[in-house]
Amino acid sequence: MRPVCTYTDFFVICTGQNPRQAKAIWDEVHGRLKHEHRSLPRSVEGQVEASWIVGDYLDVVLHVFTPETRGFYRLEDLWADVPSVELGAVSA
């Protein structure tokens, strides 16, 4: 992201199949970053509705979407000029 924006180096974008799963993904990532790396987000939005949870870790901004919300906002299209890396599904 750094070549096109000044506030972060990376966007991490992932999808849970429903708000409950999106919240669970957020909780797991947040918990691991907190306990294993002592890293807390500067700000978090969207935890209550859980259709789009965004955590700002300064160098990394984490986006956890439901499929409908991800399709609506289409961040990948908005930032299409930024190189991307796609990862497959990950299990705990």
Q: How many CA atoms lie within 13 A of 13 on its CB side?
A: 17
Q: Tokens 């000044």 label which residue?
A: 6
Q: How far apart are CA 52 and CA 71, in angstroms?
A: 11
8 Å CB contact between 65 and 51: yes
Tens of pLDDT, residue by residue over 23-50, are 999 999 999 999 999 999 999 999 999 9
Q: Write down the domain spans for the chain.
A: 10-78
Q: Is the pTM of this model over 0.95?
A: no
8 Å CB contact between 79 and 16: no
Q: CATH homologous superfamily for 10-78?
A: Beta Polymerase, domain 2 (3.30.460.10)
Tens of pLDDT, residue by residue over 49-92, are 999 999 999 999 999 999 999 999 999 888 888 877 787 776 65
